[in-house]
């Protein structure tokens, strides 16, 4: 099309996009540019499928001429009636959340560089040892150890937007009512095809108890107690379950042999002041830095 663009595709006034007037904003889907040469369509209002089809066709034509690449359409669950129309135009599922579905389409006649959906689910296991060499353990009402009398450390999934160390503190609090201080990540495990073809990434964390009166969570926990570490290690499952063996070895290495794990170090983003965390062996790192400065 000839002429120059006068407004962006996510503008609201129904004005001409091109000087010759062949494309009007009212004929396009509401959209904004992403950071990678693509477009994000964030549908919020109900739309007749036929109107959606016409706007999608016009929008794809324009975006193709503009050299756009990946096109994302975010459809809230209330607009599920538009999914079939988008799929027939070549869109594919990318991911879904409880309240929306994300569809994606690659315009150029080149290999797609659209990133795959999240490949991992992140979890934590919380090792809580008190000064009496007792470990905080639970028996769960569901899962692979249900009804087998196995005592295990508190575990759980990291929530969206939650830090690993905060998830460990939260899981212990929820399951046992014990307050804790996070110390370190001792180890982590990757387990493929664990949850609907997704991989699990589980961080084994060491925490220090700040309270000691257990009140178990009734919904998920059958029982909870402070168990002498030797008794925990002597469970039959510890002889046959390799992860239990590693947890025992990590505890002994931490308590008796000065094993050092990874502690969170806050990092401030250079462009938005957001705080993230780098996990490192702070003791050896600080010693190395001090030696370099001498």
Q: In the chain, what is the straight-line distance between the N-terminal and C-terminal CA atoms, in Å? A: 67
Residues 6+ apart with CB under 8 A from 240: none
Q: From the candidates 27, 174, 220, 222, which is the catalytic residue? A: 174
174 is catalytic: yes
Pairing of strands 198-209, 120-128: parallel
Contact 122, 157 (CB under 8 A): yes
Q: How far apart are CA 243 and CA 266, in angstroms?
A: 30
Question: Which amino acids are annotated catalytic?
Answer: 174
């Amino acid at each position: 099309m000839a002429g120059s663009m006068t407004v962006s595709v996510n503008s609201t006034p129904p004005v001409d996009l091109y000087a010759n007037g062949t494309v009007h904003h009212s004929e396009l889907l509401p959209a904004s540019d992403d950071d990678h040469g693509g477009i994000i369509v964030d549908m919020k209002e109900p739309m007749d499928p036929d109107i959606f089809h016409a706007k999608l066709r016009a929008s794809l034509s324009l975006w193709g001429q503009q050299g756009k690449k990946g096109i994302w359409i975010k459809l809230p669950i209330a607009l599920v009636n538009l999914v079939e129309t988008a799929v027939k135009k070549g869109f594919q599922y990318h991911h879904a959340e409880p309240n929306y579905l994300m569809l994606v389409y690659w315009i150029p006649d080149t290999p797609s560089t659209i990133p795959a959906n999240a490949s991992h689910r992140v979890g934590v296991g919380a090792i809580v040892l008190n000064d009496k060499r007792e470990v905080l353990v639970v028996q769960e009402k569901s899962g692979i150890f249900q009804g087998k009398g196995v005592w295990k450390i508190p575990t759980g999934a990291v929530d969206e937007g939650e830090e690993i160390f905060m998830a460990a503190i939260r899981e212990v609090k929820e399951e046992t009512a014990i307050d804790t201080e996070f110390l370190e990540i001792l180890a982590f495990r990757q387990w493929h095809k664990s949850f609907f073809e997704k991989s699990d990434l589980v961080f084994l964390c060491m925490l220090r108890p700040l309270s000691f009166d257990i009140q178990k969570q009734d919904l998920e926990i059958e029982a909870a107690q402070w168990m002498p570490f030797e008794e925990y290690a002597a469970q039959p499952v510890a002889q046959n379950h390799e992860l239990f063996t590693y947890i025992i070895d990590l505890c002994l290495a931490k308590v008796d042999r000065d094993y050092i794990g990874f502690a969170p170090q806050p990092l401030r983003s250079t462009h938005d002041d957001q705080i993230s965390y780098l996990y490192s062996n702070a003791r050896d790192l600080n010693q190395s830095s001090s030696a370099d400065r001498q």
